[in-house]
Amino acid sequence: MERKKEDRRTQYSKMVIRDTLFELMREKPINKITVKELCERADVNRSTFYAYYTDIYDLNKKILKEIFILQREFINKCNAILAESPDITNLGLDEYYKIAYAYLSIVKKNQAIYKFIFYDQANSPVQISYDKVFYSSINKMLPEIYKEPFRRAFSFVSGGTTAFFVRWLLNNCSEDIEDMAKSLSYYYNGVFNGHKMRRI
């Protein structure tokens, strides 16, 4: 029983420390943030901080690792959805809905981290790196003839999705996930299938 209480305290302490770093990084670059300042803002002892992290950079590194674990979780779910489709070049609303719903669910469960990615650092190396991995994951499944249209569509969707999530996160993900996923599915369907339309 006592072990469970310790685990909850540990989880809470790490959450407070992490969230305080996000807060401070909105105000100044990471190289200007000290452990003393973070602990005072978070109202935790420095001994508590050093029980989990060696310094601010170690804390940031572990947060980034957590981010990429979550992003990999989504990419794996996305790949599983795509693997079920008989034709990846002709996805429909149902597939796009499943992809959007999977991402929205992960974001809602991890709002603080995703605010760090999409809101506080929307143009950060974290988001750029994730986009590259996600793009590469899907692009390698496509026939050569679809690669260039997909590249254009992905660039457009990536920026739009970021703006979409920023607004949702600013509202603390209060809007219904199903409604949001439905909206995204229509946007994705229109953009990714847009290259098939021809003007006479």
CATH topology of domain 1-53: Arc Repressor Mutant, subunit A (1.10.10)
- Please report, for the chain, the start and end positions of each structural domain, with discontinuous segments joined by +: 1-53, 64-196
Beta strands in the chain (DSSP E): none
Q: How confident is the model at residue 4 (pLDDT cuts 50, 70, 90)?
A: very low
pLDDT at 196: 67
Cβ-contact 84, 130 below 8 angstroms: no
pTM: 0.79
pLDDT digits (tens, 9 = 90+) for 154-191: 888 888 888 888 889 889 999 999 999 999 999 999 99
Q: Which two tokens stand for residue 152?
A: 């254009």
Any idea what DSSP says for residue 123?
T
Digit-coded pLDDT (tens) for 106-142: 999 988 888 877 765 544 666 777 777 788 878 888 8
Q: What is the helix, strand, coil percentage profile of the chain, to 5?
A: 80, 0, 20
Query: What Cα–Cα distance (Å) separates residue 181 from each residue in 95, 161, 163, 164?
Result: 11, 11, 15, 11
pLDDT at 9: 86
Alpha-carbon torsion, ordered 169, 183, 176, 135, to 10 deg: -50
Nearest to 135 by CA among 78, 73, 80: 78
**Burial of 96 by CB count in 10 Å (0-12 exposed, 13-18 middle, 19+ buried)?**
buried
What pLDDT, on a 0 to 100 scale, did the predictor assign at position 114? Answer: 84
